[in-house]
Amino acid sequence: MNSSVNYPVISVDEVIRPTRVEVDLKILAENFRTIKKHVAPAKVMPVLKANAYGHGLVRVALLMEELEADYLGVAVLEEGILLRQKGIKIPILVLGGIWGNQIPIFIKHDLSITASSIEKLKQIDELSAQLKKKARVHLKIDTGMERLGVHYYHAEKFFEATLSCKHIIIDGVYSHFANSDDRDFSFAKLQLERFNEALSFFEKHSLPTPTRHMANSGAILQMPEANLDIVRPGIMLYGVYPSQEVKYTVKVSPALTWKSLVVYFKVIKAGNSVGYGMTWKPDHDIRAVTIPVGYGDGYLRAMSNKAEVSIHGKRYPVIGRISMDQIVVNIEKDSAYNGDEVTLIGVNGNNSITVEELADWAGTIPYEILTNINTRVPRVYKR
């Protein structure tokens, strides 16, 4: 068993925080293989942004390279640089927007750039010429997300502009779905039509069509026609579905478990309030335990007086407001001792607490739960 966090890197024997995340690399690998088989012959670009959805950027990237992933997708330049510094060799696409002074850094680290306008395309070409190198570029087309990219109805001028760029390599062209994980994904189908219409430029001009990609997790599950040349699985790679409305056509399993330990036991007398703001008090004497996790770790404050944890395979409620570093759990008349394991996410005995439940308690989505688990929480990796 190996253990690491983004900063600092530690061994399993040095994990002294009782609160930790365990990532099962075997499950993660199986999820990747399942997705790859499902979308074949399309290639797979695992998306590792936001610390690999809380699972640990570097360790997940090393696993994906071991599994011979074709590409990796990250959100920001710094994520790509870190992976190069850690020895990752496979192509990496930075999916986020750029600004001018970043371009030489992209080229230095052999990272593919998202070109989202004619102006940026020309800027990349000019700086590449100055450096006497070629930049790798993926062209971004906006088909309805209204975030990044050239609108599909202006794509022809964008594609024409590439023909005069002599210092770039067009590695791909892509778009992004706005609602492919909804029960009604008719707009996603319209977006795909718009994308294909824009791509007809290349056939009309007898030019090779760049590698195409558009399918995120929702589209992989519901729109096989969107697989194209590459798919970009994000949250489903980690075993969590993008919504409760999506069709579960591919079976994936959660790879992450979030655990802690009991560090204090007490009896709370009837009428005594618990936590900041005095939002909860018992009407009878109860037993309670303190767990060293809080919103400073990503255990969201919005879950106060709603969340549950599992101890000895039984669920217990979180009482009072969640603090930055601690929560209090009502175990009523049961017993728990210092050092007893507490499950925040994952299986505990015959009981399971899911990412989706935490999202419901917090009034948010599973993505936010996973990506909010702070890097001060050690990641422990199991093979």
Please give the positions annotated as active site: 49, 276
Residue 333 and residue 329: Cα distance in Å, rounded?
12
Q: Distance between alpha carbon 74 and the CA centroid of its chain, in Å?
A: 9
Phi, psi (deg, nearest 5) at residue 372:
-90, -5
- Longest CA pairwise span in the chain (Å): 80
Q: Cα dist. 342→17, 98, 124, 158, 260 in Å?
A: 13, 42, 51, 54, 5
| Tally of CA atoms within 13 A in the half-sphere of 149 that contains its CB | 25
Strand partners, 93: 73, 112
Running DSSP on this structure, what letter comes out for residue 209?
P
Phi then psi dihedrals of residue 81, to 5 deg: -60, -45
| Residues shown for the chain | 383
Other residues' Cβ atoms within 10 Å of the Cβ of residue 98: 20
- Output the CA–CA distances (angstroms, integers) from residue 346 to 99, 124, 310, 359, in the order listed: 40, 45, 9, 14
Q: How far is CA 309 from its chain centroid?
A: 23
